[in-house]
Homo-oligomer: A and B are copies of this chain.
Amino acid sequence: MTSGVTVSDDSTKERAPSIRDVARLAGVSHQTVSRVLNNHASIRDSTKARVLAVIEELQYRPNRAARALSRGRSRTIGVLSASSAEYGPASSIAAIQDAARDAGYFVNTANLNRGEPGSIAAAVDHLMSQSVEGIVVIAPQVQVFNALKLLSIDVPFVTLQSSGNVDANALTVDQIAGARLATRHLIDLGHRDIYHLAGPQDWIEAEARMHGFLEEMGAREVPTTAPILGDWTAQFGYHAGRELLHVRDFTAIFSSNDQMALGLMHAIREAGLEVPRDVSIVGFDDIPEAAHFWPPLTTVRQDFAELGRRCVALLLANIAGTTAENQGAIMPELIVRGSTARPAF
């Protein structure tokens, strides 16, 4: 740890300069300074220059708390996030922060990772006590939405995933389309015995991907088996893989994310089989590592960053009361790599 250069050596704890200090030195009223700060229209250039000079000299910074108090607006948006350490959410959060900052907003994040009971309410409470103007929900689990409804949040909120219902304002990567792409790819290769390793049932996107899988299978009249419900981790994929290999009545598996796909491949190889010779695998997300798995993983790419950006745009429009133009769903993209091939027989 390196301590900051603590300048407050002098006896009195000097408060930061205020708008009035600037006003005094510039020989104007505090209101004029305020106008310069908010670059109001009718300010004489010479006055403006003088004020700006003093601001520079005093190293003046507007006090956000005071501004928020008097304007009644915090200029802060909240992010409600689960598993924020994972690639997808983390990328989106970063994008959200950048986009918000560009729009002059601040971001405050509350995590849901920990002990469940009351956790959602507590997190929302944390955000609300920041008087956020809007919330981005990045933990699209059913219970979160229920909790949000129950708490009757009185600020607008958007989510990175469709809540399932058709919504005129839906902002989302089209998970169903993505899952269908993956499934179609396997069917087109000639696979007929395809398993689906799904995400946790209460995750909206997991459900959507499962739906997409089932839809495509149905449309192509390929008989389906019940999906296995996982927890997104490579660990689970590995164990699920070991279980599945006892049966071995499949030639391909579509995994609902890349991590579980990795675990699956681990289990398969450990059993002496080979991907894609014996089993084809498709993942979902296209995490940066996926291209270097062995074999490199065929997967469905989502643009998390773009998602985050659009999300902020939509939320801010909502806050402003503007009717947001619905840019429609972002289309995911199938990335074909080495983990899929025609079935062996």
Contacts and interface: CB of A to CB of B under 8 A. Distances in A.
Interface of A: 1-8, 15-16, 61-66, 68-69, 72, 74, 84-87, 90-91, 93-94, 97-98, 101, 106-111, 113-114, 126, 128-131, 135, 145, 148-149, 152-159, 163, 167, 169-171, 233-235, 237-238, 259, 262-263, 265-266, 269, 288-289, 291-294, 296, 314, 318
Contact of A234 (B2, B145, B154, B289): B289
Complex A-B, nearest 4 residue pairs according to Cβ-Cβ distance, in ascending order: A65-B68, A1-B169, A266-B292, A1-B158
Contacts of A128: 61
Query: Dominant SS at the A interface?
Result: mixed
Contact of A113 (B2, B94, B294): B94
Given A1-B158, A7-B154, A154-B8, A91 B98 contact: no
Contact of A7 (B8, B98, B152): B152
A191 to B, nearest CB: 22
A110 to B, nearest CB: 7
A222 B292 CA distance: 31
B90 A129 contact: no
A165 to B, nearest CB: 8
Contacts of A157: 2-4
B289 A265 contact: no
A86 B170 CA distance: 28
A203 B164 CA distance: 44
Contacts of A4: 135, 148, 153-157
Contacts of A72: 15
A85 B94 contact: yes
B93 A291 contact: no
A128 to B, nearest CB: 7
Given A234-B292, A238-B292, A314 B1 contact: yes
B6 A156 contact: yes
12 contacts: A1-B318, A3-B169, A4-B154, A5-B149, A61-B128, A63-B131, A84-B94, A87-B87, A97-B111, A106-B108, A233-B288, A262-B289
Contacts of A170: 1
Contacts of A5: 149, 152-154
Nearest to A113: B94
B94 A111 contact: yes
Highest count of chain B CB atoms <10 Å: which of A131, A159, A237, A259: A131
